[in-house]
Amino acid sequence: MEDAYARSVTEVLDFFGVEPTKGLTDVQVAQHARDYGRNVLPEERRVPFLKLVLKQFDDLLVKILIVAAIVSFVLALINGETGLTAFLEPSVILMILAANATVGVITETNAEKALVELRAYQADVATVLRNGCFSIIPATELVPGDVVEISVGCKIPADMRMIEMLSNELRVDQAILTGESCSVEKELESAITTKAVYQDKTNILFSGTVVVCGRARAVVVGVGTNTAMGSIRDSMLQTEDEATPLKKKLDEFGTFLAKVIAGICVLVWIVNIGHFRDPSHGGFLQGAIHYFKIAVALAVAAIPEGLPAVVTTCLALGTKRMARLNAIVRSLPSVETLGCTTVICSDKTGTLTTNMMSVSKVCVVQSVNRGPLIDEYSVSGTTYAPQGTIFDSNGTPIDLPAQLPCLLHLAMCSALCNDSILQYNPDKGNYEKIGESTEVALRVLAEKVGLPGYDSMPSSLNMLSKHERASYCNHYWEDQLKKISVVEFTRDRKMMSVLCSRNQLQIMFLKGAPESIISRCTSVLCNEDGSTAPLTASTRAELELRLQSFAGKETLRCLAMALKMMPVGQQTLSYDDERDLTFIGLVGMLDPPREEVRNAMLSCMNAGIRVIVVTGDNKSTAESLYRKIGAFDDMVDFAGRSYTASEFEELPPLQQTMALQRMALFTRVEPSHKKMLVEALQHQNEVVAMTGDGVNDAPALKKADIGIAMGSGTAVAKSASDMVLADDNFATIVAAVAEGRAIYNNTKQFIRYMISSNIGEVVCIFVAAVLGIPDTLAPVQLLWVNLVTDGLPATAIGFNKQDSDVMKAKPRKVNEAVVTGWLFFRYMVIGAYVGLATIAGFIWWFLYSENGPKLPYSELMNFDSCSTRETYYPCSIFDDRHPSTVSMTVLVVVEMFNALNNLSENQSLLVIPPWSNLWLLGSIILTMLLHILILYVHPLSILFSVTPLSWSDWAAVLYLSFPVIIIDEVLKFFSRKSSSGVRLAFRFRRPDLLPKREVRDK
């Protein structure tokens, strides 16, 4: 029954055919079970493990690598290779792919846990009325129409409509569903609001929420998937995971790379058609096959086999750094997504605020005879910890607050007129509440005021253990003044009173709504000397002004306190006793903003990131918090920036689009609204981070580009998120964004490094084929260069230090290419030099080396016809391992120098020296040691078809390798000093060589 909130109690009972005094009959229960289903959230069919594994390989770049592995294995078999040599290259490639697939499977398996943990919020049992008798049954057996009795501490077992109040009031904590910072008072009357949100349905008890006060009966109107929890589950199921910006760019890069590789392979094969009939091949067909092998070898060289592994490694390094910042990353790709976040939709309660109600202001009457009439105090401390200072109106701390009569009696009233519990949890290391947040805040106030009579009181209390300190002062007052009688809070009185006794002294303490308490007061307690004076009209007016200031301007939740001396021997209280009261004071409390939030929000603004506060609370409460944060002092008027969910939905589509671009506050929301907001922002090509801690936040967390859950939040929110904040602190998000930007910059650097290196390998093979000289590098040598000499330095580039201005730049656009046109030109130049230097090393050995044959260049070009003509040198010279060893060493060394170029995109090595990244220096040294190892250790040198080099060979290698530093320094200089001129001079037809596409389908 979807509109039960708008129907009367009689209408709802008639709809289900149930009598409130007897409940359903067994026949009705069976019929309703068939009609409406069971009260469970059904388990979802899990994706089969094999399908999950295969999904990880559904990536173009990965498919290219698989093809490369297969082709390299087939070519090895065609060449007659067996054993380790044949399996080495494909095995290493497949190992890399297996490692990446493992990471992907683990990530997706974790994401499915959110739906499982959502069921943990269902109640286990329910007290139900059937056949005229109450019984306790499993909550899963409830059906619509069942009459259920609930009381304090009960978890609501299904969505239910209130039908009878069995106490003065009923309050429910539904923060996990709506995010409201305070418990909600429930009532029997029908709601007349159109398009009601959960907060408006004050006669509905929602599944999974908890009763914190009172007792009542209700009729079940929704079970299983037809509950509020069920709608959250359905919303999560309908949400598909979005690919991260980096993943999209790598996919585009893979598509671009595939086209380039295919084109070059075909070009190399066509260029060499004239050589197909060379005698050395043994025929046209054999020649065609030979050059096909070369083309495929070139394709293998062009594929950056280590790219997936290095990207994963760099992101993993980022997760470790972020963990030290209290940001626990659950999904590796989300590390990079943070770097391009443009909008942060922040939950208010628990993220921007402490989610701990605390007293911040106290107002008492100082004296009625001389000024000032009213005294105001402020209270520090924003958590449930009994630690804080009370300041006077001038901001001066008060050393012994309990010496002041009004503050002393406020502490007594707060401790005695109270049903909550404050305790220390050693497992979590913090103070926790049991009961109403407002009452716990009063207990904390009593602890901050302390006890009278001891000059060393503050320091004495600090010597107690945290468990003893939690409620030491409260327990003192409870021991000193024994409770005799209590009159509970009622909606019409709006107050609670308690009768206490001490040494033949009877005192009644009261707390409640200020208008109710003050109207019943005839006298006031003076803070100056503890005397009692009549409550005059002027004093009453002054108190009214302070109340308006507290509740209006500062949007504090206000309570007034009073006392009354009662006749000795009185044992009970009645409503008639609650008059002729003595006013003690007024307290204002709030869920305060975290102290560090202001600077964090200013950092977001400097970084071009917009923050939208999303909350289930009232509009005025949220606007007041926004002002208290202090980061938006320029925002005098909230017009056009603050909307309730209902107001936003009523706007025409065009105005909604405009409102999204200026929105700063989104209030009175329920789960569907949060998800709707994320989707709307994503349609405007925003990269959205959503924070949350409740069950209600889970669908939006899953839908957002990056979902951020609070460490103290629900398990459902954590499982649906990409990142968890261990300290629940908004400032941690900003630090994580800076880290994400730095990670992306480093990712770009090593991708460019690998591109330029692989271009060098392609140029090497291509030029060798065009010139008609012997194969410069063997496939196994290319594999060594790609995986070892590329992989180690590329990974170390991930340790480049974060730029000092990383949070001063605007977020990068999601469609920004990893490699732009000018950068691609730069790395083409570097890559071309790498390839030409490698070829030069090969030719140098044949033509000029002291240990070489010193052949004329024409002989080298005609090597394939050596066996058909007479030569003054043996043809076996072309099978010598020295020239390929020299060229391979040149390739390794030049790439090590090129790695140093990638310490920064545009900064010179004179500004950012090599030792700024010791990991990179270490990887270069290790790479060179490994290379020397395969040159000079006999079994390895045979495996990699290399041989030891002489000192003259090494000198040539260095001469050919070092110029890559000079070339890149020149290119960096042009990028820094005359970027516009360079772009004009080298402008491509498109500024982006990598293909672009729309980020999202409209």
> Using only C-alpha atoms, what is the Rg of the chain?
38
**Planar angle of CA 791, 97, 101, nearest 5 degrees:** 125
Give the separation between CA 863 and CA 6, rounded to whole angstroms. 93
Global pTM reads 0.64
**pLDDT attached to residue 564:** 95
The answer to whether 41 and 229 are in contact (CB under 8 A) is: yes
Q: CATH number for the 358-587 domain, one of 3.40.50.2000, 3.40.1110.10, 3.30.200.20, 1.10.287.3510?
A: 3.40.1110.10
CATH architecture, range 326-351+592-727:
3-Layer(aba) Sandwich (3.40)
Please check the confidence at residue 360 and state whether its pLDDT lies above 90. yes
Highest mean pLDDT among 321-330, 609-618, 758-767, 871-880 belongs to: 609-618
Q: What percent of the chain has pLDDT over 90?
A: 25
* pLDDT for res 483: 92
pLDDT above 70 for 396: yes
* Ranges 550-554, 573-577, 583-587, 913-917: which has the least confidence: 550-554
Domain assignments of the chain as residue spans, ordered by start = 1-237, 246-305+750-978, 326-351+592-727, 358-587
286-311 confidence digits (pLDDT tens): 777 767 766 766 666 666 655 666 66
pLDDT of residue 794: 76
Q: Residue 227 above 70 pLDDT?
A: yes
The answer to whether the beta carbons of residues 170 and 159 sit under 8 Å apart is no
CA distance 213 to 420: 10
What does the pLDDT average to over 646-664? Answer: 89
- Of 113-117, 392-396, 412-416, 787-791, the range with the lowest mean pLDDT is 113-117
Q: What is the mean pLDDT of residues 44-66?
A: 66
Average pLDDT over residues 764-780: 77
Catalytic residues: 347
Range with lowest mean pLDDT among 379-383, 643-647, 760-764? 760-764
**Residues 133-187: tens digit of each pLDDT:** 989 888 888 999 999 999 877 888 899 999 998 887 888 887 777 766 667 888 8
Is residue 741 scored above 70 in pLDDT?
yes
- Calculate mean pLDDT across residues 380-397: 90
How are beta strands 521-525 and 581-590 bridged, if at all?
A: parallel
- Tens of pLDDT, residue by residue over 922-939, are 999 999 999 999 899 888
Give the mean model confidence (pLDDT) for residues 822-830: 82
Q: What is the mean pLDDT of residues 551-576?
A: 89
Name the residue with higher pLDDT: 42 or 553.
553
Q: What angle do CA 388, 393, 399 make, to 5 degrees?
A: 45
Class for the domain spanning 246-305+750-978: mainly alpha
At 65, the pLDDT band (50, 70, 90 cuts) reads low
Return the SS3 of 908: coil
pLDDT interval class at 244 (50, 70, 90):
low
The pLDDT value recorded for residue 221 is: 93
- pLDDT beyond 50 at 117: no
- Residue 1001 above 50 pLDDT? no
Q: What is the dihedral of CA 740, 744, 747, 749, to 10 degrees?
A: -130
Q: Tokens 């005229």 belong to which residue?
A: 132
Q: How confident is the model at residue 981 (pLDDT cuts 50, 70, 90)?
A: very low
Q: 961: burial class by Cβ within 10 Å (0-12, 13-18, 19+)?
A: buried
Task: Return the pLDDT at 482.
Answer: 92
813: pLDDT strictly greater than 90 = no
Average pLDDT on 984-988 reads: 39
Q: Average per-residue pLDDT in the chain?
A: 80
Residue with the larger pLDDT of the pair 543 and 1000: 543
Could you tell me the CA-to-CA distances from 297 to 75, 293, 774, 782, 784 in Å, in that order?
9, 6, 14, 9, 14
**Chain segment 329-358, per-residue pLDDT in tens:** 776 667 777 778 899 998 777 678 877 889
**pLDDT at residue 276, rounded to an integer:** 73
The confidence score (pLDDT) of residue 989 equals 38
Least confident of 309-323, 533-547, 836-850: 309-323
Rounded CA-CA distance 740/318 in Å is: 8
- Mean pLDDT value across residues 973-1001: 45
pLDDT for residue 383 is more than 90: no
Q: Please state which CATH class domain 1-237 belongs to.
A: mainly beta
